Amino acid sequence: MVFRSEFPDVETIDLPIHQAVLGHAARYGDRPALVDGITGERTSYARLAAAVERIAAGLAGAGVRQGDVLALFSPNSTAYPMAFYGATRAGATVTTVSSLATPGELAGQLADAGTRWLVTVSPFLPTALRAAELMVERGRPLAEVIVLDGAEGHRSLADLLAATGPAPEVAIDPGRDIAVLPYSSGTTGLPKGVMLTHRSVSTNLAQCDPLFRPEEGERMLAVLPFFHIYGLTALMNQPLRCGATVVVLPRFDLEQFCRTIEEQRVQGLVIAPPIALALAKHPVVDRYDLSSVEYLLCAAAPLDPELADACARRLGLPHLLQGYGMTELSPTTHVVCPKETDPSPGSVGRMVPSTELRVAALDGSDDDLGPGERGELLIRGPQVMKGYFGRPSDTAAMIDAEGWLHTGDVGYVDERGYLYIVDRVKELIKYKGYQVAPAELEAVLLAHPQIADAAVIGVPDADGTECPKAFVVRTPGSSLTEQEVTWYVAGQVAPYKKIRAVEFVDAVPKSAAGKILRRELRAREAERAGATT
């Protein structure tokens, strides 16, 4: 059967993302749109809207043209939304880059996305410049590196804001033009650029309204990274679209996080499981007054029900809310509404409007399953991505001819329409909310001269966090150690992608076609876990 949202369909939003978000900025005027959680500096809606126009003019004056790809490589700051919307206002596509990227990873994304402009901050400038050098070596030099907070020889945010020319007249086609190009591994393989149009992102915000729409003036704390589609949507686009106040922190530090909640009287928290763990267990939480918090929404990775309950109790809330989506879905399909008094415990919520869901049988048949039956989740709706940039075969493998996106997640729908995520068929590892592609780590491992073969899977640690574990076949005569393997990988990837455990094996199990049989490796790990309990 096909499950459909219980809410009325929404109209397609054919607006550029900057207009969909800031089109009502004049109504909010001097109300604070952004607050720096460290300094307390405020940016009003009027100032934000004006800054976007000036930055668009400054970027156009620098040579940015419609269709150019601009990379935004920065931690959260009050300047991030200005740069993001200024770039889309100038007609550019923004590819958001992880703050943890190494020079090689950054250059890889810049090259794959066809990036011409790189916007960063001074602490990240050494990484950015090394990536720019790698781009030159590849014969694809960048047009310019812009440093938001200023650096000698580089255009800054202040320079862009000082532009005196008019903002460019750009005719954006919301259904065709790409607003943002985040990178995701999908269900398997290496990271790929996810083409999210202005229409898909803007419409998904409207789809969220019945279930997650911050109140005007509501104060939300943005510590999840804006470079991730979750933070970009839930903590930047949707709050600013609704007239809320976004209190911005550059990174998660528990004491600073709690202090900011107390000082700014934050009402809404949108987090990932590692933050839920800290809020539930760390003694520092008791030193701060967190009574202003009215709801806590957690997504990005599975959350243990006991941990969810402990976190909610610690903050004096009736329950912790969850949501579901993925980058390829702009990203939201399900969420528990903060106003609900009796959500199904442990669920990720009800389906947003204009969305359809099928639960496909896992035995390879064409059967669709009903309430309570577990299968792979297939989603169809206006939030489905346009496709993977430059990868039509990967797109075809993800989205079938009828427009159903195959999520790779396994779940079921209860009789009340609430969705539960119970497993996944995809190979992707979710380490503390970050995506880690086994194939990417395997490629790094296989480049080592003493490694003949390798496979990577996710295994739970003592806290239940899924961590990358490598199964390594050494070359004959090699005395390679676990520590040498972990150090080797750590030197080439972002910290969250590091190998956390290594096991040396005689052979990696593979199918007749040469595909790694990760299920056999996972079964071995499950047997060991069962033997030790």
Residue 379 confidence (pLDDT) above 70: yes
177 three-state secondary structure: coil
| Residue 302 confidence class, pLDDT cut points 50, 70, 90 | confident
148 found inside a domain: yes
158 three-state secondary structure: helix
User: Number of structural domains, the chain?
Assistant: 2
Region label for 67, one of left (φ > 0), alpha (ψ between -120 and 50) or beta (otherwise): left
Cα distance between residue 531 and residue 533, in whole Å: 6
Model pLDDT, residue 530: 75
- CA distances to 7, 58, 392, 400, 402 from 388, rounded to whole Å, are 29, 30, 7, 14, 17
Residues with Cβ within 8 Å of 212's Cβ and at least 6 positions away in sequence, in order, are 234, 238, 297, 323, 332, 335, 337, 338
What are the start-end ranges of the H helices in 76-124? Answer: 79-89, 103-113
Model pLDDT, residue 511: 59
pLDDT tens per residue, range 401-432:
999 999 998 899 999 999 999 876 667 788 88
Residues with Cβ within 8 Å of 304's Cβ and at least 6 positions away in sequence, in order, are 464
3-state secondary structure 23-87: CCHHHHCCCEEEEECCCCCEEEHHHHHHHHHHHHHHHHHHCCCCCCEEEEECCCCCHHHHHHHHH
Nearest to 217 by CA among 271, 181, 268, 281: 268
Cα distance between residue 36 and residue 214, in whole Å: 19
Report the percentage of the chain scoring pLDDT > 70.
Answer: 98
Least confident interval from 241-255, 364-378, 400-414: 364-378
Q: CB count, 10 Å around CB of 159?
A: 16
Where is pLDDT greater, at 528 or 296? 296
6 found inside a domain: no
Cα distance between residue 310 and residue 320, in whole Å: 9
pTM: 0.86
129 found inside a domain: yes
Residue 514 confidence (pLDDT) above 70: no
Q: Which amino acid does the sequence have at 160?
A: L
Cα distance between residue 433 and residue 305, in whole Å: 16
Backbone angles phi, psi at 139, to 5 degrees: 75, 25
Where is pLDDT greater, at 300 or 504? 504
Taking the CA atoms of residue 13, residue 15, residue 20 and residue 22 in that order, the dihedral angle to the nearest 10 degrees is: -160
342 found inside a domain: no
User: Where does a domain end: 127, 152, 171?
Assistant: 171
Q: What's 456's domain CATH number?
A: 3.30.300.30
Residue 524 confidence (pLDDT) above 90: no
348 found inside a domain: no
Region label for 334, one of left (φ > 0), alpha (ψ between -120 and 50) or beta (otherwise): beta
357 found inside a domain: no
| Residue 80 confidence class, pLDDT cut points 50, 70, 90 | very high
Region label for 381, one of left (φ > 0), alpha (ψ between -120 and 50) or beta (otherwise): left
468 found inside a domain: yes
- CA distances to 182, 381, 400 from 200, rounded to whole Å, are 14, 9, 18
- CA distances to 312, 332, 338, 417 from 350, rounded to whole Å, are 20, 11, 12, 6
Local structure of residue 407 (DSSP, 8 states): E
User: Where does a domain end: 171, 187, 209?
Assistant: 171
Nearest to 205 by CA among 229, 222, 183, 224: 229
Q: What's 112's domain CATH number?
A: 3.40.50.980
pLDDT tens per residue, range 314-350:
999 999 999 999 999 999 999 999 999 999 999 999 9
Cα distance between residue 394 and residue 265, in whole Å: 45
Output the six-digit token pair for 316. 């004096």
Residue 507 confidence (pLDDT) above 80: yes
Residue 533 confidence (pLDDT) above 60: no
Cα distance between residue 288 and residue 265, in whole Å: 11
159 found inside a domain: yes
- CA distances to 103, 342, 440, 481, 525 from 443, rounded to whole Å, are 17, 47, 5, 19, 22
Range of the domain at 130: 45-171
Backbone angles phi, psi at 136, to 5 degrees: -65, -45
199 three-state secondary structure: helix
User: Where does a domain end: 149, 171, 193?
Assistant: 171
Burial of 429 per CB tally in 10 Å (0-12, 13-18, 19+): buried
Model pLDDT, residue 51: 98
Cα distance between residue 144 and residue 441, in whole Å: 31
